[in-house]
């Protein structure tokens, strides 16, 4: 201890000896007790007056408001300019090192990697989920997890691994004097994991257990966030699942994981960040373990199967719907009712977008939370946000309503998640729609000021944590190469005006909506109704039902199925372009059994006997026929559909089922199987397209299993069916724009007149029909039953395989993305 410190202690010691005199109490007489626990009732002086702890006056010490003599003035620490700087160094292999100094004995260091589910298009879904579970297991220098734990415990350290949609983070908080040990450990975990088969199996069990747990919990947010991203971006980039799909658990092995790590854990995709460390020392250690020592995959032969490069596709927001009809557990003992969940979202903005900060302010303004926190907290805790004051505090049946803002490097997603008992699901959607529309109104001055101050305070309070600063440094440097100081964001938040909020809200609402729902969702409005309401149709006063959400809609409770509209065919008008023979006739029989209102058959050849049979099968259904050759010009098709619409007023479903199988007739095969289908679809858009104030509709296109695996002896037929699949998939992605959903049903080999006799291309196989009917096949009745089942499931974008009497969805493999 230095002299100055010893002198201060001596002074304080001599001073403290007088403290008992200063605070002594003069007591001359103890009064009688109260009779309760022998507590004295008071203290009396010589004058008989009561005294209670009255200090004596005679002391040489100064008053408390005066400084103590002979005690040096306190010198407070002042922040230095260099303590706030983020230093960034790029090594020769492309790895970036970013650090900030911070006082204290402990530091936080780690890797932030450009990796995550968005890059898994060419891999089985769930690779990142597995890597999270496999983190800090055996490596080249640490034989098992226990060895890693021992290394950390010896230096008072802890570790963690987290994944998001576009980043993977390995981090450790440890004694600053053990920075070499921490860097070595992190390098081994990221670049030299051994990943034994036993570890992969244990990770699979852990992932499966987590999935089962999530489905049993009342909190459905992790599942719903995956669903809303899938609805917003489809089966690519940001729409790929963060949670491992159960069906891919068996597909992920060591080879898959090592191939993924080799391409994604490259130095140029990493930032090594540190808080509370010396930058130059950190650079030295990182160079030693990340440059001089090589990754484990460089010493192993690479598998020839799988992708050879990183998916660099840009996220493309499309909007859409993903739903799952299921049972969500509820806990009566915890006063939790059965809940249905719905999330409604729009395209937000990337975190480098100029509108990012105003959108963050809007997110705080919307706020929200759970009904269980309605009576707690206070100002500054979100209790004055719009979703609290206008939703949670107004409707007692609303369990939760919360706004979320997700921002990524190239896109973003803004959404509101609400939950309520199933009988109030329609009303829940109405309330969310109304609040979303209300975002575009000019915010009040106090509302805006409160939101800005709350965002600023949240930012600064979060940055009090060393771990949060580490993540902020790593993410910012990974995205932009540098870190913006908190003062920069405070200033940007302060500049946000009411006009900025309105502009950003309008930008959100101009994008196609995305919808995700889970639970008992039979009362959920159809997507077309939600889109119409958001476009301004049917806006009503507070507390009244939006007119597009009619309570007498027909819904079917389907099995678990994503994007399912749960369509009931009762009282629906269906136009079926097909001949009344084989699959066409059996499908028509199944349709009339569903109590349609109208079944309109369009075909080149009339079949009066078949029409009579359908009418007799269900007299309640109006069955009519119109002659139609699908090879006629588009103008003629439009003219025919005008006649049909004039007769039955509306059409709910169009089934394009015309087709021929004869590769001798090349032009006619293309005209019937593909061009005619495209023309019929194009013609009906004049009546359905929501951009022309149409009601939307459903298109079911009949393809074939040859559309995804050709019969090479009939390449013309197979090519047209592949065209049908791709054309329909495009229609499905355009659904948020047009209001028209679409999917394909693709029958396998079915015993019909179509396959009894047909010709191969250039007669390359004269007996192709005979050979096809040799292996196991299905009857037209089996095919028709599954055909109608697919229509009732009504899954936008689905590619259904109808083969051997079963109905199975096909997951289309993506090999390329246009980036638009």
DSSP state string for 536-575: TTT---TTS--TTS-TT--B---SS-TTB--B--TT-EEE
Q: Is residue 32 part of a domain?
A: no
Domain contains 263: yes
394 & 276 share domain: no
pLDDT confidence tier of residue 57, bands split at 50, 70 and 90: low
Q: What is the pLDDT of residues 7-53, one digit of tens each?
A: 544 544 444 444 444 333 333 333 444 343 444 444 445 555 545 45
pTM for the whole thing?
0.61
Contact between 721 and 704 under an 8 Å Cβ cutoff? The reply is: yes
On average, the pLDDT of the chain sits at 85
Domain with residue 756: its CATH number is 3.40.50.720
Are both 726 and 593 inside the same structural domain?
Answer: yes
226 and 328 inside one domain: no
| 736, 594: one domain | yes
Tell me if 62 is assigned to some domain.
no
Q: What share of the chain is helix, strand, coil (3-state, %, to 5)?
A: 45, 15, 40
Q: DSSP label at 778?
A: B
Report yes or no on 558 lying in a domain. Answer: no
In the chain, what's the furthest Cα-to-Cα distance? 131
Q: Would residue 567 count as lying in a domain?
A: no
Which structural domain range is residue 629 located in? 573-809
CA 168 to chain centre: 16
Percentage with pLDDT > 90 across the chain: 62
Tens-digit pLDDT profile for residues 133-171: 999 999 999 999 999 999 999 999 999 999 999 999 999
Residue 518 tokens, joined: 């889970």
- Please tell me whether residues 660 and 604 are part of one structural domain: yes
Residue 53: exposed, middle, or buried by beta-carbon count in 10 A (0-12, 13-18, 19+)? exposed
Reference 428, options 530, 334, 497; nearest CA is 530
Give the pLDDT confidence score for residue 334 in this predicted structure.
Answer: 54
SS3 label, residue 337 = coil
Q: Are 358 and 280 members of one domain? A: no
Co-location of 92 and 233 in the same domain: yes
The pLDDT of residue 403 is 95
Mean pLDDT over 274-288 rounds to: 95
- Among 677, 684, 685, 681, which residue's Cα sits nearest to residue 723? 677
Are residues 151 and 174 in contact, defined by beta-carbon separation less than 8 angstroms? no
State whether residue 480 is helix, strand or coil: helix
Each residue of 220-254: pLDDT tens digit?
999 999 999 999 999 889 999 999 999 999 999 99
User: Is residue 327 domain-shared with residue 191, that is, in the same domain?
Assistant: no
Better-predicted residue by pLDDT, 304 or 123: 123
pLDDT, tens only, 494-533: 999 999 999 999 999 999 999 999 999 998 998 888 988 8
In a domain, 352, yes or no: yes
Number of domains in the chain: 3
Q: What angle do CA 347, 402, 539 make, to 5 degrees?
A: 70
Are the C-beta atoms of residues 259 and 195 closer than 8 Å to each other? no
Number of helices (H), then strands (E), belonging to the chain: the values are 27, 22
Collapsed DSSP state (helix, strand, coil) of residue 392? helix
Q: Convert the pLDDT of each residue in 318-343 to its tens digit.
A: 999 999 999 887 765 455 778 999 99
Which among 188, 186, 151 is positioned nearest to 282, based on CA atoms? Answer: 186
Asked if residue 526 belongs to a domain, the reply is yes
Q: What is the mean pLDDT of residues 382-387?
A: 81
Domain shared by 622 and 758, yes or no:
yes
Integer Cα distance of 7 and 22 in angstroms: 23
Question: 495 and 384, same structural domain?
Answer: yes
Helix axis angle for 608-617 and 583-592, nearest 10°, is 30
R_g over Cα of the chain: 35
Residues 595 and 687 in one domain: yes
Q: Is residue 583 part of a domain?
A: yes
The model's confidence at residue 1, banded by pLDDT at 50, 70 and 90, is: very low
pLDDT (0 to 100) of residue 811? 81
Across the range 674-702, mean pLDDT stands at: 91
CATH at residue 190: 3.30.830.10
Grade residue 554 by pLDDT with cuts at 50, 70 and 90.
Answer: very low
Query: Do residue 350 and residue 390 come from a single domain?
Result: yes
Spatial contact of 367 and 510, defined as CB atoms under 8 Å apart: no
Q: What is the H or E stretch that residue 600 is in?
A: strand 598-603
Which run of H or E residues covers position 718?
Answer: helix 715-733
CA distance 270 to 115: 9
Taken in order 529, 535, 538, 539, is the CA torsion positive or negative? Answer: positive
Q: Which band of pLDDT confidence, cut at 50, 70 and 90, is reported for residue 80?
A: low
Weakest mean pLDDT among 25-34, 356-365, 795-804 = 25-34
pLDDT in tens, 578-598: 988 888 999 999 999 999 999
Find the range with the poorest average confidence among 73-77, 118-122, 554-558. 554-558
Residues designated as active site: 717
What whole-number percentage of the chain has pLDDT above 70? 85
Among the candidates 483, 506, 535, a domain finishes at 535
């Amino acid at each position: 201890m230095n002299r100055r410190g010893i002198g201060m202690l001596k002074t304080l010691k001599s001073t403290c000896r007088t403290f008992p005199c200063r605070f002594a109490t003069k007591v001359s007489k103890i009064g009688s007790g109260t009779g309760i626990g022998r507590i004295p009732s008071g203290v009396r002086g010589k004058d008989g007056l009561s005294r209670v702890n009255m200090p004596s006056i005679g002391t040489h010490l100064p008053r408390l408001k005066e400084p103590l003599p002979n005690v040096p003035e306190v010198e407070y620490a002042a922040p230095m300019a260099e303590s706030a700087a983020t230093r960034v160094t790029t090594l020769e292999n492309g790895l970036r090192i970013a650090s900030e100094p911070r006082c204290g004995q402990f530091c936080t260091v780690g890797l932030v990697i450009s990796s995550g589910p968005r890059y898994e298009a060419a891999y089985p879904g769930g690779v990142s989920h597995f890597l999270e579970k496999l983190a800090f297991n055996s490596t080249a220098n640490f034989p098992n997890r226990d060895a890693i734990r021992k290394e950390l415990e010896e230096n008072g350290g802890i570790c963690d691994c987290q994944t998001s949609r576009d980043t993977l983070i390995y981090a450790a908080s440890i004694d600053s004097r053990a920075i070499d040990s921490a860097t070595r450990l992190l390098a081994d975990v990221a670049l030299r994991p051994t990943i034994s088969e036993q570890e992969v199996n244990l990770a699979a069990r852990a992932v499966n257990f987590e999935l089962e747990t999530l489905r049993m919990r009342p909190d459905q947010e992790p599942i719903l966030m995956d669903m809303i991203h899938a609805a917003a971006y489809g089966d690519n980039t940001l729409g790929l699942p963060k949670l491992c799909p159960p069906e891919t658990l068996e597909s992920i092995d060591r080879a898959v994981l090592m191939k993924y790590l080799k391409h994604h854990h490259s130095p140029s995709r990493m930032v090594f960040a540190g808080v509370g460390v010396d930058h130059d020392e950190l650079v030295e250690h990182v160079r030693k373990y990340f440059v001089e020592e090589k990754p484990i995959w460089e010493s192993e032969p690479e598998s020839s199967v799988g992708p050879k490069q990183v998916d660099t596709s840009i996220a493309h927001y499309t909007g859409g719907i993903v739903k799952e009809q299921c049972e969500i557990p509820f806990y009566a003992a915890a006063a939790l009712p059965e809940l249905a969940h719905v999330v409604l979202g729009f395209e937000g903005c990337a975190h480098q977008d100029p509108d990012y900060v105003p959108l963050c302010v809007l997110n705080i303004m919307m706020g929200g939370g759970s009904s269980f926190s309605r009576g707690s907290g206070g100002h500054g805790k979100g209790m004055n946000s719009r979703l609290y004051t206008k939703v949670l505090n107004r409707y007692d049946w609303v369990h939760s309503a919360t706004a979320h803002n997700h921002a990524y490097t190239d896109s973003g997603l803004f959404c509101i998640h609400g939950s309520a008992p199933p009988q109030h699901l329609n009303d829940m959607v109405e309330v969310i729609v109304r609040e979303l529309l209300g975002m575009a109104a000019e915010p009040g001055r106090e509302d805006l000021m409160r939101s800005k101050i709350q965002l600023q305070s949240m930012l600064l309070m979060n940055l009090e944590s060393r771990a949060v600063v580490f993540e902020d440094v790593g993410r910012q440097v990974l995205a932009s190469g540098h870190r913006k100081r908190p003062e920069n964001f405070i200033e940007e938040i302060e500049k946000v005006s009411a006009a900025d909020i309105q502009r950003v809200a309008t930008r959100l609402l101009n994008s196609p909506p995305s919808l995700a729902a889970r639970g008992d969702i039979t009362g959920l409005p159809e997507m077309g109704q939600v889109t119409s309401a958001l476009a301004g149709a049917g806006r009503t006063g507070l507390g009244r039902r939006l007119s597009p959400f009619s309570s007498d809609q027909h819904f079917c409770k389907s099995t678990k199925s994503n994007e399912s509209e749960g369509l009931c065919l009762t009282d629906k008008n269906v136009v079926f372009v097909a001949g009344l023979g084989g699959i066409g006739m059996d499908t028509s029989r199944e349709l009339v059994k569903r109590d349609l209102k109208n079944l309109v058959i369009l075909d080149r050849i009339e079949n009066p006997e078949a029409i009579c049979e359908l009418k007799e099968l269900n007299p309640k259904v109006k069955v009519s026929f119109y002659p139609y050759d699908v090879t006629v010009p588009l103008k003629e098709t439009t003219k025919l559909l005008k006649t049909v619409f004039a007769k039955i007023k509306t059409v709910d479903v169009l089934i394009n089922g015309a087709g021929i199988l004869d590769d001798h007739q090349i032009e006619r095969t293309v005209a019937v199987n593909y061009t005619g289908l495209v023309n019929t679809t194009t013609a009906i858009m004049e009546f359905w397209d929501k951009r022309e104030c149409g009601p939307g509709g459903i298109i079911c296109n009949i393809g074939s299993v040859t559309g995804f695996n050709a019969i090479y002896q009939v390449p013309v037929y197979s090519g047209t069916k592949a065209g049908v699949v791709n054309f329909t998939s495009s229609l499905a992605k355009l659904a948020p724009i047009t209001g028209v959903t679409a999917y394909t049903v693709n029958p396998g080999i079915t015993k019909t007149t179509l396959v009894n006799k047909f010709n191969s291309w250039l007669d390359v196989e004269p007996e192709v029909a005979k050979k096809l009917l040799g292996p196991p096949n299905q009857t037209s009745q089996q095919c028709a039953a599954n055909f109608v089942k697919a229509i009732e499931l009504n899954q936008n974008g689905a590619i259904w395989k109808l083969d051997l009497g079963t109905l199975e969805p096909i997951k289309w493999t993506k090999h390329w993305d246009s980036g638009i």
